[in-house]
Structure formats: structure tokens, C-alpha cells
Chains A and B, each alone.
Chain A
Amino acid sequence: MTFILPKKTRVLWQLRIAVAFIFVCVIIFAIVPLNLWALLLVWFIAAFGLFVVFFYVPVFIKNYKIMIYNDCLCIYKGVFIKSLIVLPCVRLVIVKRLVTPITSLFKLHLVLLKVARGWIFIPELDSNVSERLLSIIQGEIYE
């Protein structure tokens, strides 16, 4: 069984990152005196932001896959450094679902998994998909 991230997640992250980069540029303009170096810095940050928003985020969301085989949860992700995480479901300590006001507008839920040595964040999934994923994981744990 495979789950992929919806297009709404890509739009949401593009918006978030674009706002963050615009905020940084405004702060730089507000703090640093206006000269050639400040302009160069802002151009560099803006170029990096454009790269992240229009290349990195879409490729990351497209490559992100969640697979469930037998009693293992497998997450495949990454753009330049690709990684595959294999988690036996019985080893998941806490499974959390998070909703913010903005994600609720898009009908998306963020899923967090507590494993040995840290948390794994699964970017926003459709609400019905996240419910289905959590019920499958719960079923694997209690089988």
C-alpha cells in the first residue's frame, strides 16, 4: 500500500517558504543600509528562495512516498540526498496527528511519528488519507 502527498501540500509549502524568504529580505532592507552589498545579498537570498520554491519543494513532494509492507512502514524521500526509512510498526512509540488553522483550510493533517532517537515528520496529507494511514498503523500495532 502506497501513499503520496497531494498537490495542496506542495502549494502550502511553496507559500510558506515564499513568505519566509520575503520576510527575510524585508528584514535585511530594514536593518542594513542600502548599498551594493545589501542589494547583492538580497538578490542572492531571493534567487535561493526562488530555487527552493520552484524546484526543491515540487521535487521533494513528488518524490515523497509512504509505503506499508507487512508490519513495516517505509518512507522514501529526498531530492539530492535520497533516503529510505524502514520502521517496524511495533517500534513506533507515539503516532500524532496535528492540525493548524491554515492546514485545516486546505483539509490537510500533519503526522508525527516518535521512534527511537527522535521524531519523523510526514508532511501534510489529506485528512481522510491520514486517518486511513493511522488506522492501518494502529491495526499493525495491535494485531
Chain B
Amino acid sequence: MNNTVIRPHPLTIFYLMRSYWLVFVAPPIRMLLQYIFIKEVQIILLSETVAVAITLLLAFFRWFFTKIEVFNDIWVIKKGLFIKSRSIIRLSNASGIYVKRGSIDVIFKSASIFINTQTDNTEQNNLKIKFKTGDLEKIFNNSCTEIVYPVRTRRNFCRFFVIPLWIAFLMIFCLLTAFIYFKTVQILIILVINMYFTAVCYHNYKNGGLYFDNNISVIGSRGLLLYNFYCKKEKIGAIKIYQTPADRKFKTCKIKLFEYSEGAKGIKVRNADLNDTVAKINKAFNLNLNV
């Protein structure tokens, strides 16, 4: 049996610190109250410094003493220094696997994995861990041999810039009427919003894949986050295909898949080619849809 032992990514330390959010929120609140009532602010107190240091140390130890052992289909998660726990998850019993990557993950070469165990939505009963990208590939090669990475679907370049184009028209209108109705600040806000939507649209254009067979693999995005989703065909709960008026013009669609679970997150692929998508669903589920 192949045995791979992996530790989570160091960024997990910051993720673990969120349980102690009060330690970080209390000092600014304390400073604000001091300013309001006494008009005198003490920037740092010894007790607060000690509390932050203890929090950091606790999070570090929790990260350091967490290990994941992968034996093919079985994941063994070992946690704890004094109170030790050992959880065993069989991937074939999970309803779906999500892998999430954001801008920070791209910089630090990490990815978050979420395994839905079909119970509820709590972290206790599902598995959520941040790995290094290299380790994640190693794990998937060892344990998920049936997973096929989806090919990028056919995309329509013009469709992706419908929203930024509309915002650009709004900006031109603002510039033309700038002296009468809009101030510079408002124009700058619209420019920033347009840049954000352009970045999101380009991100959606570059990423998005569908693979339908006995196993389903999807690459979707939400904002600037990238999601990979894997599950068996029998675990799919529902598939929804949407077409807005812009999608009908460019013959594209948005597809959203839900696994069969109350805690299902769902994954969306934007602006995939309609005919291609429907053909893949027809082939995988033996249907005769004609949209």
C-alpha cells in the first residue's frame, strides 16, 4: 500500500487563528473606548501582547502536530499534542471533493481542499485543509486515480466582456457629463469597479472546464477564486443550466452542479458553450436534450 505523509500548508496557522478572533478585535475596541471616554490611548498593553503571542503559539502547535497520511483511498488525519485525535475518511464514501484556490493561494502556492462527507455542513464532520500545491498533486495521484482533469471548455471571447463593456459605456457617459453631474471620486469608483469586473471576466474566460463520464470533474470560478470539483456521477443531485439574454445571443450558458448532500456547496461554470455542454450531459446521462 502506498503511504504518503503530508503536513498542511503553513498558511493554515492564520486559518486556525480565526477561532480566537476576539483577541485581535479587543485591542482596537479598547483603544476606541479609551479615546471616547478618557481622550487618552494606550497603543499596546502587555496583557494583549501576551494574548496574541499565546494565540499564535497555539495555532502554530495545532498546525505542527497535524499530519495527514494517505493510503490510496483512505485518509488518516492525526491531530493534537496532549489530546490526540485520529480520523479516518474513505474518499469513495465522500459525496464530493472541492479544491479552492484564490489570489493568496497562487502567491503562496497553496490550495484548500474540502471533502463533503454527506453529513452536515460543520467542519467537524467534513474535512477542510490547506495543502501545498505540490503535495496536493501527490495526494491526488495516489488516492484519486479515477479523476480526470477537465479540459478547458470552448469559450466565447466577446461574451466575457459584456459586463465590462456596459460599465465602460457608463464611464464614458460619466466623463461626458462629469462637469455637470458626477465628481471625480465617483468616476474613480466606477473605474475601479470596471477594473474588478474586467479581471473577474478575464479570470472566468481563462478558467472553466467540464468532464462528464462515470466520474465528473469541473473547474469553475467565483469572483477571483478558482474551484475544482470531483465526484462520481451517481453522487450528482441536480444540474442547472441558465441562459441570460447575453448568453442566448452568443450561444453560451452557465452550468451549476450540486452533489447529493444537504451541505452541498455547488459549483458554477460560467459562459460555457451551450451545444458542447448539452452534448456532454446527454452522453453522460443517456439523455436526448435539445436546447
Contact = CB atoms under 8 A, between A and B. Distances in A.
A117 B264 contact: yes
Contacts of B185: none
A86 B239 contact: yes
A34 interface: no
Nearest to B258: A116
Nearest to B266: A117
B83 interface: no
Contacts of A80: 244-245
B242 A81 contact: yes
Nearest to A83: B242
A76 B241 CA distance: 9
Contacts, number: 72
A67 B237 CA distance: 17
B46 interface: no
Interface in A86-120: 86-88, 91, 115-117
A17 interface: no
A72 B242 contact: no
B244 to A, nearest CB: 5
A85 interface: yes
Nearest to B282: A69
A71 to B, nearest CB: 8
Interface residues of A, number: 20
Contact of B285 (A70, A76, A78, A83): A70
Contact of A86 (B238, B244, B266): B238
Nearest to A73: B238
Interface in A48-76: 67, 69-70, 72, 74, 76
A116 B281 CA distance: 19
A84 B238 contact: no
A65 B72 CA distance: 45
Contacts of A115: 237-238, 258
A78 B262 CA distance: 26
Nearest to A69: B287
A83 B288 CA distance: 16
B289 interface: yes
Contact of B289 (A82, A84, A88): A84
Given A81-B243, A86-B281, A117-B264, A74 B237 contact: no
B261 interface: yes
B85 interface: no
B236 A88 contact: yes
Contacts of A91: 236-238, 260
B238 A85 contact: yes
B262 A85 contact: no
A23 to B, nearest CB: 31
Given A70-B287, A91-B260, A81 B244 contact: yes
Contacts of A83: 240-243
A115 to B, nearest CB: 5
B291 interface: yes
Interface in B225-245: 236-245
A72 B281 CA distance: 11
B2 interface: no
A122 to B, nearest CB: 14
Closest 10 CB pairs of A and B: A116-B237, A86-B239, A84-B241, A69-B287, A82-B243, A83-B242, A116-B258, A116-B264, A91-B237, A115-B238
Interface of A: 67, 69-70, 72, 74, 76, 78, 80-88, 91, 115-117
10 contacts: A69-B286, A83-B240, A83-B241, A83-B242, A83-B243, A84-B240, A86-B240, A91-B238, A115-B238, A116-B258
